[in-house]
Structure 1
Amino acid sequence: MSPKINITIGQSACFTKTITESDVYTFAGISGDLNPAHINEEYAKTTRFGGRIAHGMLSAGLISAVIGMQLPGPGTIYMGQELKFLSPVRIGDTVTARVQVASIDEKRRQAVLETTCTNQDNALLISGQAKVLLP
């Protein structure tokens, strides 16, 4: 008999982090994504954003923190993630990643989660949906 599923449809959790310059440089080094839009202020000033922006996947990684640590939590395995990047994240922005349970397949021990990231002004930065294997 499988262990009981301990999440419910509509349940949500979030994680908030202020993105620092150090975060951007560390992520660039770890990922190998040295795009000057992220690490070169002089170049970034010439782009449509008028300055450096954080890597989209750095912000999306905050969604992973919610899924892996809070909801559904430790032992959860990602099966897929769809993301729409709607607005840039700038150094100094405070990003809140939110996950909400949309559906549960108890037989397969899978769930679909609505995922979003917003900034300190409540602007929607990222929207998407994750499919996970429950612990």
Structure 2
Amino acid sequence: MFDNQPRGTIPIEDIEMGMTRYLQKEITDQDIEMFADVSTDRNPVHLDEGYARDTIFGGRIAHGMLTAGLVSAVIGEQLPGHGTVYLSQTLKFLAPVRPGDMVHAEVTVTGIEMGKRRVTMSCHCAVDGKKVLVGEATVLAPTRKLD
């Protein structure tokens, strides 16, 4: 289940400070299994409930980078959207995401360098209103102008 805002492109000329976009996605067992296959990260804390029960998490958790990928989806699909180039991303993981959790991933524009087409955004993911990931992204935004 997705609760998303419109996808597409917001060119640098139309981006404003404080602009926010988000998506919501339930993390499923299939998501975790597919991410493990694609990334080759088959740590049993993600895939083996018996193993994970005896860890500090007390059960299986999603890969942190799977959760972070939802931030990437908001940036690449909504703000700025199609044509965006990632320049940097910081992440701090605050709490685990578990199978069945509904994750709310959100980005907010905190800086614009029009001449360089750079946009800085604060990013976070939350589950039930509790932040599980925070960070900052800097991207090269698409433009309407042809140089």
TM-score range, shorter chain: over 0.9
TM-score by length of 1: 0.96
1:5–1:47: structure 2 CA closer, same or farther, 3 Å change rule? same
Work out the CA distance in 2 between the residues paired with 1:99 and 1:12. 6
Q: Secondary structure at the match of 2:115?
A: coil
Work out the CA distance in 1 between the residues paired with 2:47 and 2:14. 42
For residues 1-135 of structure 1, the aligned pairs below 5 Å read: 5-119=13-127, 121-135=128-142
Superposed CA RMSD in Å reads 0.9
- Which stretches of structure 1, 4 residues or more, deviate above 4 A after TM superposition? none
Work out the CA distance in 1 between the residues paired with 2:34 and 2:24. 18
TM-score by length of 2: 0.88
Q: How many aligned positions are there?
A: 132
Contact 2:94/2:133, CA 8 A, preserved across alignment = yes
1:107–1:53: structure 2 CA closer, same or farther, 3 Å change rule? same
* One-letter identity of the residue aligned with 2:15: I
* One-letter identity of the residue aligned with 2:31: D
Q: Secondary structure at the match of 2:107?
A: strand
Displacement after TM superposition at 1:4 (Å) = 5.7
What is the percentage of aligned positions where both structures have the same residue? 50
Work out the CA distance in 2 between the residues paired with 1:35 and 1:80. 26
Contact 2:12/2:141, CA 8 A, preserved across alignment = no
